[in-house]
Structure 1
Amino acid sequence: MPIPTPLTGVVPPVCTPLTPDREVDVPSLLRLVDHLMEGGVHGLFVLGSTSEAAYLTDRQRRVVVETVTGHVGGRLPVLAGVIDMTTPRVLDQVREVTEAGADAVVATAPFYARTHPSEIARHYRLIAAACPVPVVAYDIPASVHTKLPADVILDLAAEGTLAGLKDSSGDLAGFRKVVVGARIRPDITGFSVLTGSELFVDAALAIGADGAVPGLANVDPRGYVHLDRLCRSGDWERARVEQERLCALFGMVTVGDPGRMGGSSSALGAFKAALHLRGVIDCPATAEPQVPLSAEEVERVGKFLAGAGLL
């Protein structure tokens, strides 16, 4: 379905369930999509960071998009990541995901080679020129080593190159500059500004953001949808309480031992362990070479779920 302009609400970056031999677990993926839709989410973002897109082969990426778009059947907009190193490689991904039914694409700045802001702008213009669906920028400097400048994003929005921004930069001042600019510039209409944070969705919506793309919404979609509704109704005190419950639940991402694994192994392992414990997916495996959680660490995930009222 065409994405709303602007896209609002909760748009989870969908985890990619894997089998023990690290193939896409299609039945589990279908159950996860149902779990999210039953939770009331407003869209789905596949092939993002929480989806482990960087670890998947091109064939596996195609399976994910075809599975989700086919199952959703136009009931919700499906955004697909086209995350790759350079513009030509991103354009290959654009062709794949749009042929597979994606309603919008989500692209980072180029990476490996460091790029000038003018090259970043050219990158997005070339993508938009070749893409039959809207293009959303993805600001995640921790992974691509380039911060998307707010003025570049706003100018690309004004010219119609970009339909939105998913901000996972952690730069609150820059995020606010985009939110305010999208609101006050008369040459910008229908542009979506979405936070990628789990921890300050209430604050983002309070300053005028359109929605959120929180990885933790895989585990508790109803919680984030409830938070979104409270914020939109102006019930900020109850929204604060719900946000703080979700912040406590997000503590599960720290269960992994930093002496033997990185933050990605810990966080994505926790999300998948939680989904497994909740009966949504069959296997909590993460993609290689990430390190799996131990039985003790999985038990700690269960305690976070119980504390949040989810077990």
Structure 2
Amino acid sequence: MIQGSMVALVTPMAPDNSLDWASLRNLVDWHLEQGTHGIVAVGTTGESATLSVEEHLAVINAVVEQVGGRIPVVAGTGANSVAEAMELTEGARQAGADACLLVTPYYNRPTQEGLYQFHKYIAEQVPIPQLLYNVPARTGVDMLPETVLRLAEVDNIIGIKEATGDMVRAKTLIEQSAEDFIVISGDDATAVELMLLGGQGDISVTANVVPSTMARMCELAIAKNAEAARALNEELMPLHRAMFLEANPIPVKWALAQMGLIPAGIRLPMTPLAEQYHAQVDTALRNAGLL
């Protein structure tokens, strides 16, 4: 079942920016031990935009293999080219991923009808459950609720990662879609509120550094234990803010390197965390007991 704290897993890289397979497998094992409910491989946080197709599929295969069916694996397979999105989605299906996450086609600036036709086509061609992913701050295109609700009726499209942080929009999607359509937050700071409205989880950046706490917070929110969930989220808020001082995944990869969990590699055009932010991220990590 796709719900709860779904970590948007980083892709570890060596200082020369080659993929660090040992660190990737160790991260997966750590998340399994810490109670993470699911893993999203090669999404935005996994630097999908700068991995080759071959690397992208290799990471999905490695994560699926390491998880071994113990929790769901959702593979990021979106692209601004329908051919590339199809290739990645079919590759994830063959690798044994439980579902795919397809970001809205970026840069092209498609119409709402273009978004509908793009996602409908892929869902009809590749028989694997698919989640839409709306993050207009990064893609430059906003999939409106009416388009999402149209796509919710397409076989294989099982839900959406809604990353706008807009609770009015989230409420509309939850109330007007079918009961089995999954609405998941893509915004850590507001994820509790989305889950209290009836959303099923959070695809989380913060879960990279505090997986067990994020899992507990999601469990409380899904159970509608609002007071406890909000209290825990308030404790996490300094980490939520720290993880977005610069574009994701710059801060979270720096944090994980400080924690000794991954090397410091990150691919251009992303750069290491600017020195002016080191103290803020370091303080958030120390106050959370992570250093």
- Tell me the TM-score range normalised by the shorter chain: over 0.9
- 8 Å Cα contact 2:195-2:221 kept in structure 1: yes
- Paired residue type of 1:63: A
Distance 1:197 1:112 in 2: 21
Distance 2:275 2:108 in 1: 40
189-198 or 153-162, larger mean C-alpha shift: 153-162
Using the TM superposition, give the Cα deviation of residue 254 of structure 1 relative to its aligned residue in structure 2, in angstroms: 5.5
SS in 1 for 2:31: helix
- The aligned counterpart of 2:161 is 166
Using the TM superposition, give the Cα deviation of residue 161 of structure 1 relative to its aligned residue in structure 2, in angstroms: 4.4
- The aligned counterpart of 1:258 is none
Residues 270-285 of structure 1: pairs in structure 2 closer than 5 A: 270-281=251-262, 283-285=263-265
88-97 or 239-248, larger mean C-alpha shift: 88-97
- Paired residue type of 1:125: K
Using the TM superposition, give the Cα deviation of residue 297 of structure 1 relative to its aligned residue in structure 2, in angstroms: 4.2
- The aligned counterpart of 2:186 is 196
**Percent of pairs with identical residues:** 28
Residues 3-42 of structure 1: pairs in structure 2 closer than 5 A: 4=1, 7-42=2-37
Distance 2:83 2:73 in 1: 23
Distance 1:79 1:137 in 2: 12
- Paired residue type of 2:83: P
- The aligned counterpart of 2:226 is 236
The answer to whether residue 74 in structure 2 is matched with residue 74 in structure 1 is no
Q: TM-score, normalised by structure 2?
A: 0.93
SS in 2 for 1:96: helix
Instruction: Give the paired residue count.
Output: 291
- Paired residue type of 1:128: A
SS in 2 for 1:16: coil
- 8 Å Cα contact 2:250-2:272 kept in structure 1: yes
- The aligned counterpart of 1:122 is 117
- The aligned counterpart of 1:63 is 58
- The aligned counterpart of 1:205 is 195
- Stretches of structure 1 lacking an aligned partner (at least 5 in a row): 183-187, 256-262
- The aligned counterpart of 2:273 is 293
154-163 or 118-127, larger mean C-alpha shift: 154-163
CA root-mean-square deviation: 1.8
Q: 1:41-62: per-residue Cα shift (whole Å, max 9, x none)?
A: 1111111111111111112112
171-180 or 298-307, larger mean C-alpha shift: 298-307
142-151 or 213-222, larger mean C-alpha shift: 142-151
Distance 2:96 2:224 in 1: 36
Distance 2:243 2:183 in 1: 25
User: Out of 122, 132, 136, which is 1:141 matched to?
Assistant: 136
- The aligned counterpart of 1:185 is none
Distance 1:92 1:207, change over 3 A: same
SS in 2 for 1:125: helix
The answer to whether residue 286 in structure 2 is matched with residue 306 in structure 1 is yes
Using the TM superposition, give the Cα deviation of residue 179 of structure 1 relative to its aligned residue in structure 2, in angstroms: 1.2
Q: TM-score, normalised by structure 1?
A: 0.88
Q: 1:130-176: per-residue Cα shift (whole Å, max 9, x none)?
A: 11210110001122221112122122212434111001123332222
Distance 1:168 1:233, change over 3 A: closer
The answer to whether residue 249 in structure 2 is matched with residue 268 in structure 1 is yes
- The aligned counterpart of 2:48 is 53
Using the TM superposition, give the Cα deviation of residue 94 of structure 1 relative to its aligned residue in structure 2, in angstroms: 1.4
Distance 1:234 1:107, change over 3 A: closer
Distance 2:115 2:287 in 1: 43
190-199 or 143-152, larger mean C-alpha shift: 143-152
